Structure 1
Amino acid sequence: MGVRLRLRSPCGVTVSELLWLSVLLSLTSCAGEASVGPTPDGQGPVTDLQLHPRQKMLTWKYRSPVSAGLCSMDAPLSPAVNTTPRVLDQDTYFCAFPSSVLHRGATFTVYSVVANVTVQQTLLFRNPGAVGAGATNLSCVVYAVSFMNCSWVPGRTAPADTRYQLFFWFHPNDAEAECAHYLRDSKGMHVGCHFNQLPGEPRTSDNYFFLVNGTSSQAAVPFLDAVPFVPFLNEKYSPPGNIMVRPAGPGFEVRWEEPPRRFPQSPSSLCYELDVQRKGGGRRTEPIFQRGQDQNRYELAEGEAGSFVRLRVRHMRGTIWSEWSAAVGFGPDRGHDVLALARVLSAVGLAALCTVVMMVVCKKYSLQQRLLPPIPRVKDELKAAVQLEQEVTMKEADLPEPHDVLVVQETQ
């Protein structure tokens, strides 16, 4: 944590404030010499000076006419902020500091030029509550297009019964609302908030505002505020999808698709990181960063053969990376192995198919022989019958002619 050195004038005004005052004084020095000091009557022109912490707005009224004015906010660990007053209504003026934080306390100063004299009125703001009891490290992340999670760390001296509450609003003029789905730690203390659905039509100009305060029966708990949350810079994308690696000339070409986003912008607003892992577990020395394109692609050298590649993505102006995608293998060595394996499997499959067909045919023929024995040929049977008949005829022709046979019957 650094220390900010500030140069102050003998009157207690910072150098930057003096520059602003010099501009104001130059506007009013035409009629005479200008100076810094009290008004002639000893009273400042500003009255009813008030701070509205939720709106981070300073309001007041003037008891006498002024020719120029300036507002300044000085907070620990933050640069000083200067702005010019504006009219709120008929007799009330205000200065707003929407991008500042108040939980560390702040000093507000209103400078006014009255009769060529610049006067100042100061308001000190301190965050009420026990030191160290308030929440710290508030952060929010948009994910899966329409969801958001916010988280914080309980104060190191927060009592055990501390109950933190998160309030939010999506426009400076909106009414605040409390979180509906708190996330709790193992002790049951609120440490986060889940948003099931973000409201409205998403725009890159959207700002979300958050405030975490707390209650306890043992001590007062300071609040925690934050600078406006810019959701399109704090969206965690899904990993790049549909990753393909194809041969391209002597090397390979990687192609992928950008992830879905809640806040659509041009493809060039995305930054991709490619992690190429060599075969055997090695990794490239330098990471590869690629800006988004209409057709996302990247060429890999031939030397990357037999490796794997994976990708992740973030917004060009953001810091939240997606998870890594699944690794995709590529390279001719891997391709040749796959091709050889495919050929072997094809040959084995063809041989197995032929074997099965032959077995089926043989089995079918054997069963047919058993159930349907061969039928004798009709032509051969007829030929054999004719030959037999001719032989019988010829034998009959050789027999002697029959003689008369006398049958003698014995008589008694």
Structure 2
Amino acid sequence: MGNAALLRCLGSPGSLLATVVLLSMVLDSAWLLTQEQQDLPTVKPNASLNVKFDPQTTKLTWDCRENASSGECVLIHKEKGPIKKKVKDSECQCTFQDYSLHGGVTLTVEVHVNQRRLSEMLVYTNPGREGTAAQNFSCVIYDADFMNCSWAKGRAAPDDVQYFLYIRSKKRIERECPRYLKDSGTHVGCHLQDLSGLTSYNYFLVNGTSQETGIQFFDSVLLLKEIEQYNPPDNITVQCNESHCLIRWEKPRTRQPWPNREFQYQLDIQRRRDTSSGRSQLIVVFGDSGNRYNFPKPGSKAKHTVKIRTADARKAHWGAWSQPVEFGSEETGSSLVHIYVLVVLGTLVCGLTLGCLFKRFLKSHRLFPPVPQIKDKLNDNHQVDHEETQEREDHPEERMATHSRVLT
């Protein structure tokens, strides 16, 4: 094609100039885009940080690089989500606080070297055969000084599996269970009589061994306040007047001396004769009320019983009931029955006493009869004559009749 034909295709000289300008703008945009891409942080294919994670210390480490500036560590937990920690300059590690790791976690490291970003990800999984870890793990503190932990054998664990419990405090002090509870030779629990050294929250790890296969571990972070089962309150007293009965108690002894507001109480008040009928009043009283409750005194003045148990103010994990404490008086009907019984018994006792005294008097009368007296004939005759004279004076008719008989 000749030059003339090319010019005809491009059009007039003005059109040619516009085309040249448009082409120049497109080339400039492409060059700028290339420069921006070159300025973005990139990661070289061979720029590995060699990230490592130690579950024993929850420490994440990586290879240090020259001119490394601040960065960030991230632990992605399946339940708690992303947990981030800042990395200071020239530091090549970060330590996370204790979290449960038996479900696996994902960890990432991001640092800046020479104004370029380097990042790497590490997936940590629970080693061992699936289903071999201990299950149904739980712990409870009781009587303020003792703790029991228990677990069950994993559903896929071999027969020769053996489990071991380790407890690590917040201060990173670790100890093994001092006394295991066994089932057919396998450790399925732990009893601790010394809780000294434990902090507010602690890390519990149950790992296992077997000659047949690898055993997965189970771990958990427990707050001691949440697993403590409180004793019943101390010194329960009841004082009644004409209108109400004031029930008082003292907070129980716990592992830590918590204030009153950290407790709640449940009162079970029953009529003493209706304890088997299930008719009771369950009343919840919080500790900030002063550990007291005013119970309206019933009109019948029936005797009642009260027992109390304790729980944490934020979690209704109730402990054991206290011994029942009686208050009030017996019902009127039962009081009358008691009075009748006392009257009858008193009458019987008095009758028996009088009978015994009378019988004793008769017996003493037979043993000691009265002594006969010497008869005074002179005084007796004089007394008889005196009586006859007096009788005649009292009856003159008889005296006249007697005189007539004498004359005749």
Q: How does 1:271-290 map to 2 (within 5 A)?
A: 271-276=264-269, 279=274, 281-283=277-279, 288-290=283-285
2:176 aligned to which of 162, 175, 178? 178
Normalising by the residue count of structure 1, what TM-score does the alignment of the two structures yield? 0.69
Quick check: which has more Rg, 1 or 2?
2
> d(CA) in 2 for partners of 1:192 and 1:319?
25
2:227 aligned to which of 223, 234, 258? 234
The 3 A distance-change label for structure 1 pair 195 and 362 is farther
Q: How does 1:144-159 map to 2 (within 5 A)?
A: 144-159=143-158
Structure 1 counterpart of 2:60: 58
CA contact (8 A) 1:86 1:94 kept: no
CA displacement at 1:81 relative to structure 2: 1.0
2:347 aligned to which of 327, 346, 351? 351
CA contact (8 A) 1:250 1:301 kept: yes
CA displacement at 1:164 relative to structure 2: 1.1
CA contact (8 A) 2:310 2:319 kept: yes
> d(CA) in 1 for partners of 2:59 and 2:365?
106
> d(CA) in 1 for partners of 2:359 and 2:251?
59
Normalising by the residue count of structure 2, what TM-score does the alignment of the two structures yield? 0.70
Residue deviations 1:78-127 (CA, integer Å, cap 9, x gap): 3221112369xxx7643222241111111111111334433212222111
Structure 1 counterpart of 2:96: 97
> d(CA) in 1 for partners of 2:277 and 2:234?
23
Secondary structure at the aligned position of 1:233 is classed as helix
Residue deviations 1:121-157 (CA, integer Å, cap 9, x gap): 2222111101011012322111012110011222111
2:318 aligned to which of 318, 321, 337? 321
The 3 A distance-change label for structure 1 pair 42 and 336 is same
> d(CA) in 1 for partners of 2:88 and 2:357?
100
CA contact (8 A) 1:59 1:92 kept: no
The 3 A distance-change label for structure 1 pair 86 and 230 is farther
Tell me whether 1:225 sits opposite 2:222 in the alignment.
no
Structure 1 counterpart of 2:292: 297
The 3 A distance-change label for structure 1 pair 356 and 323 is same
Structure 1 counterpart of 2:254: 261
CA contact (8 A) 2:65 2:113 kept: no
Secondary structure at the aligned position of 1:236 is classed as coil
Residue deviations 1:303-342 (CA, integer Å, cap 9, x gap): 797676543211113453102335556677x543453354
Greater fraction of residues in helix: 2
Give the counterpart letter for 1:157 in structure 2. Answer: A
Residue deviations 1:199-258 (CA, integer Å, cap 9, x gap): 25x8xx53333210111222211111112x222332111223554555455454433333
> d(CA) in 1 for partners of 2:352 and 2:40?
108
> d(CA) in 2 for partners of 1:170 and 1:385?
122
CA contact (8 A) 1:59 1:94 kept: yes
> d(CA) in 1 for partners of 2:354 and 2:282?
59
> d(CA) in 2 for partners of 1:207 and 1:188?
30
Structure 1 counterpart of 2:126: 127
CA contact (8 A) 1:256 1:296 kept: yes
Residue deviations 1:43-94 (CA, integer Å, cap 9, x gap): 25x45x322212222233422223311111113233221112369xxx7643
Structure 2 counterpart of 1:404: none
The 3 A distance-change label for structure 1 pair 353 and 226 is same
> d(CA) in 2 for partners of 1:235 and 1:198?
12
Q: 5+ unaligned residues in a row in structure 2: which ranges?
A: 1-36, 381-408
Secondary structure at the aligned position of 1:155 is classed as coil
CA displacement at 1:354 relative to structure 2: 3.0
CA contact (8 A) 1:36 1:118 kept: no
Q: How does 1:16-55 map to 2 (within 5 A)?
A: 37-39=41-43, 43=47, 46-47=49-50, 49-55=51-57
The 3 A distance-change label for structure 1 pair 384 and 269 is farther
CA contact (8 A) 2:243 2:296 kept: yes
Give the counterpart letter for 2:339 in structure 1. Answer: R
Structure 1 counterpart of 2:384: none
Secondary structure at the aligned position of 1:340 is classed as helix
CA contact (8 A) 2:206 2:218 kept: yes
Tell me the number of residue pairs that the alignment of Structure 1 and Structure 2 aligns: 341
Give the counterpart letter for 1:184 in structure 2. Answer: K
CA contact (8 A) 1:246 1:254 kept: yes
CA displacement at 1:276 relative to structure 2: 4.9
Q: How does 1:350-389 map to 2 (within 5 A)?
A: 350-369=346-365, 373=368, 376=371, 384=376
CA contact (8 A) 1:61 1:92 kept: no
> d(CA) in 2 for partners of 1:94 and 1:283?
64
